[in-house]
Amino acid sequence: MALTLEELEKARNANLKLNQFEQARASNVQQTENIIEDQDINVIAGVGREIAEGFTLGHSGEIAGALAGVGSIFTDETFNEAFDRRIGVARDRSKRFSKAYPKTAIASNIVGGIAPVVASAIATGGAGAGATGSALTAKILSNPLLAGKIAKQSSGLLGKIGKAQK
């Protein structure tokens, strides 16, 4: 059965239209998935995750992964599989929230980071925050360059403070 040139042309056009339809459908599916993904971002849950991330100094995903790994004894997953899966989910959620709400993500992370200092200040009537601040100041001032240990003995900031007190 030989096809005529006209029949071949019709088949080629039908194939082109089918390809264009498939490309448009794939594009629409991707756009729909992006819309659903953007709508899937819960602001309150995202803020909570970012506060936890700041509070744990960036280790909330690993903590959640460890808990998921321990919980894997009740499933058919290994500890490593559950750990890796949970960390992947946590990082993906954090990345999507940070992309959708960058300022809120940063502010939430900072709030989580300073929460222990604020809680210490409230619990101790301010003495805890002072102790935390003093420890931080001592750590900064114990830097050899500031203390004068590399340049000239007692010529650093601590040496000058000591001379001023005498």
pLDDT at 119: 80
Q: Is the pTM of this model over 0.75?
A: no
Unique residue bearing structure tokens 């004068």: 148
Pairwise CA distance, residues 89 & 65, whole Å: 9
Structure tokens at 10: 């019709």
Over residues 4-51, the pLDDT tens digits come to: 778 778 778 777 777 777 777 766 666 655 554 555 678 888 898 898
Pairwise CA distance, residues 90 & 94, whole Å: 6
Please state the φ and ψ torsions of residue 152, each to the nearest 5 degrees. Answer: -125, 135
Say which residue, 7 or 156, is predicted with more confidence.
7
Pairwise CA distance, residues 50 & 91, whole Å: 11
Say which residue, 132 or 19, is predicted with more confidence.
19
Mean pLDDT, residues 63-88 taken together: 88
